[in-house]
Amino acid sequence: MWNYQVVKNTTKIKGKKYTSYGIREIYFSGNGKMRAFTVDDMAPYGVTKEELLKDLVHMLMAFDKPVVTMTELNKMIKRRKNNDF
């Protein structure tokens, strides 16, 4: 099942740490493990104003879930490459 999730990204530029947050879609298997995620942060979208609002509400619900770090997502990718998922 795909879900919106807040994702924390920390980068280091010239020795200084910068942190940013975005919302991505993350796919969770039936046992709750992360299996896939969108490459880029998501933006709300809808063909109608009502659909746009519905998508935005789903994004806002991401703030009720734990924040996922890019480190966690990168570990998931590594596990998949090693077929350890």
Tell me the pairing of strands 34-37 and 68-69: unpaired
Give 33-59 as a DSSP string: -EEEE-SS------SSHHHHHHHHHHH
34-85 residue pLDDT tens: 888 999 999 999 999 999 999 999 999 999 999 999 999 988 888 777 775 5
CA distance 25 to 21: 13
Look up the pTM and report it: 0.84
User: Any idea where the domains of the chain sit in the sequence?
Assistant: 2-81
